Amino acid sequence: MLFDRLIRPTLYRLNGNDPERVHERTLSVLARLSDVPPALAVVRRRFAVADPVTLFGLRFANPVGLAAGMDKDGRALAAWPALGFGFVEVGTVTRLAQPGNPRPRLFTLPQSDAVINRMGFNNAGAAALAARLAAKGKPDIPLGVSIGKSKVTPLADAVADYQESLRALYPWADYFAINVSSPNTPGLRSLQDRSALAELLAELARTGGELAAAAGKPATPLLVKVAPDLTDEALAELLEVCDEHGVSGIIATNTTLRRDGLATAEAAVGAESGGLSGRPLTERAREVVRFVHKQTGGAVPIIGVGGISTADDAQRMLDAGASLIQVYTAFALHGPGLVHRLNRTLAGARSRENAEHTG
């Protein structure tokens, strides 16, 4: 494909083969594009596919969303629907602005079709994102906001930290993703434990309910994003807690600390610390989605994410029990044509299935 053969190698060459610089330059271009409606219209005609899905009381333009991490601070919100996404998740955002971990902290493994990151929730803070949304408005597709714990906040104060982000962004989010599964903030994954998660979800549900009542609208859905490294027993316990506290859905999965499936030639890069995403995560992410779907009897909506880079990956994730999917690594490595291909294929399969049922 043109992106893989020419565009990506050129981007890396012009940016000193630094993946984070490539990310920053790409996001800057898309942020500028977001301010040019005629250009957005041209891009939309090329990439957008209408294949609506209704979930959580929201109408998604199609089932393919942008995962958190690409546009942490919501800088390019108008560009994502034009590029064909049916919804976008910004963040992970924290109550306090923070620079993240020291560079280098982003590593590409092209032979493995994978990325390792230890970004550490680098973002301008919840208040800054709220101010940008107030000034520029929301995109015309559902907007998810992923919230996490500020690094300097002690675990004992994590609940209040999450609550402040929820309050700041409640007027803007169509759903919240509660990120307790990133491997790049010390101690964060311990918030997946029963007692810690129960306290966090209870307080966030209470706060959200108060904010919704004050605004005279239904409560904004809360979803929990889980790690792929949990055992079945730990995941089952987490799902019990989510059910007890009325969680609206599960996002499965975050990045993994495992290093299975890497190309031998990339073993040195694979030894870098951080979360691994991309092709090596494909099977495990699908296993987690299948487990969640079975464990909950299909009653809990799932957003499937992890290693989706082909239409077959996307369809198999939906078949495993996901209602929506998200991409990030494959989009970054293979370009916007990927989103169009996924949507076009999924829409065609859905159309054929509907025809068979009505035929």
Q: Within the chain, what is the greatest distance between any pair of CA atoms?
A: 59
Instruction: State whether residue 179 is helix, strand or coil.
Output: strand
Q: Is the pLDDT of residue 8 over 80?
A: no
Instruction: State whether residue 91 is helix, strand or coil.
Output: strand
Q: List b or e across 36-58, with b for residues whose CB sees 16 or more CB atoms inside 10 angstroms.
A: eeeebeebbeebbbebebebbee
Question: In this structure, what are the phi and psi dihedrals at residue 94, rounded to the nearest 5 degrees?
Answer: -120, 160
- Beta-sheet pairing, 302-305 with 249-252: parallel
Contacts of 232 (CB under 8 A, 6+ apart): 291
* Cα-Cα-Cα-Cα dihedral sign, residues 157, 98, 90, 11: negative
Give the C-alpha separation, 111 to 120, whole Å. 25
In which band, very low, low, confident or very high, does the pLDDT at 359 lie, cut at 50, 70 and 90?
low
Query: Any catalytic annotation for residue 182?
Result: yes
Give the C-alpha separation, 278 to 264, whole Å. 16
Which residues belong to the annotated binding site for substrate?
72, 117-121, 179, 184, 254-255
Which residues belong to the annotated binding site for FMN?
68-72, 92, 146, 179, 225, 253, 278, 307, 328-329
* Domains with residue ranges and CATH for the chain: 2-358 (3.20.20.70)
Give the C-alpha separation, 274 to 296, whole Å. 30
Give the C-alpha separation, 178 to 55, whole Å. 18
Give the C-alpha separation, 26 to 90, whole Å. 16
The pair of structure tokens assigned to 165 is 């982000």
In which band, very low, low, confident or very high, does the pLDDT at 264 lie, cut at 50, 70 and 90?
very high
Weakest mean pLDDT among 1-10, 75-84, 142-151: 1-10
Give the C-alpha separation, 265 to 259, whole Å. 13
- What's the pLDDT score for residue 159? 97
The pair of structure tokens assigned to 13 is 């060459």
- Beta-sheet pairing, 143-147 with 114-117: unpaired
Give the C-alpha separation, 199 to 334, whole Å. 40
Catalytic residue of the set 182, 277, 309, 323: 182
User: For 82-105, how does the pLDDT look when each residue is reduced to its tens digit (9 = 90+)?
Assistant: 999 999 999 999 999 999 999 999
Task: Identify residue 31 by its one-letter amino acid code.
Answer: A
Q: Is the pLDDT of residue 191 over 60?
A: yes
Mean pLDDT of the chain: 94
Residue 156, number of CB atoms within 10 A of its CB: 7
Query: Which residues face 277 on adjacent strands?
Result: 115
> What is the value of pTM for the model shown?
0.95
- What's the pLDDT score for residue 132? 98
Question: From the CA atom positions of the chain, what is the Rg in Å?
Answer: 19
